[in-house]
Amino acid sequence: MRDLKKASQNITHYDYMDTPIGSLLLAGCKNYLRFVGFPQAPKGLEAHTPRQPLDTWQQDSEMFTQAKHELTEYFAGTRTKFTVPIKLTGSGFQCAVWQALQDVPYGETCSYGDIAHAINNPKSSRAVGGANNANPIPVIVPCHRIIGADKSMTGFGGGIPTKEFLLDLEGRAAGTRLI
């Protein structure tokens, strides 16, 4: 699961956004979006702790205007790339995986093995899965586009139904069927 304590050092503000997949927690600082979380536990995963802002963060409904606008367009099927400034903090390996995720085109999927090859570490499929799971900015950094080599739906922090929803949304907008 995404670790808020690691990301929180550079997060000062947060807000919520209602979307078709539920309320999203947006968090960051003056210059960057650093975290997108699912504050409600996904269906079937109620035992997991939902994402909540830390006590040191201040709620600010104005700070994430661009992110909210772009996410609204994405969920309407009219945005295929995000331009909101983001800042990813992680190990070198994680950052390489997260960059590779951003290179997976809208409306397409690939496997963990494909990402491992893309970062020139072909034996790291499992580690890619771990980095994918640690992605602090899901949807915008599209970890939902990564599926099993056998085309199966694999884990997603927002739950498999959310992953399927996002893939279906992108497939409809792109005129393809992703799953």
One domain, residues 101 and 44:
no
Vertex 110, ends 106 and 114: CA angle to 5°? 130
Active site residue 29: no
Identity (one letter) of the amino acid at 38?
Answer: F
Q: What is the CATH number of the domain that holds 45?
A: 3.30.160
Q: Does residue 141 share a domain with residue 70?
A: no
pTM for the whole structure: 0.87
User: Of 88, 106, 110, whose CA–CA distance to 34 is shortest?
Assistant: 88
pLDDT given for residue 159 in this prediction:
85
Residue matched to tokens 């503000």: 13
Pick the catalytic residue from 29, 95, 110, 143: 143
132 lies in a domain?
A: yes
- Among candidate residues 45, 75, 105, the one where a domain is terminated: 75
Q: What is the per-residue pLDDT for 172?
A: 74
Domain assignment present for 67: yes
At 109, which CATH number?
A: 1.10.10.10
The residue range of the domain holding 98 is 92-174
Which helix or strand (DSSP H or E) is residue 164 part of? helix 160-174
pLDDT of residue 54: 87
Q: In the chain, what is the greatest distance between 2 CA atoms, to the nearest angstrom?
A: 44
Helical segments of 62-122, H only = 65-75, 92-102, 112-118
CA atoms within 13 A on the CB side of 15: 14
Tell me, yes or no, whether 105 and 167 share the same domain: yes
Consecutive 10-residue averages of pLDDT for the chain (179 residues): 57 94 93 86 52 88 95 96 96 97 95 96 94 94 93 85 93 59
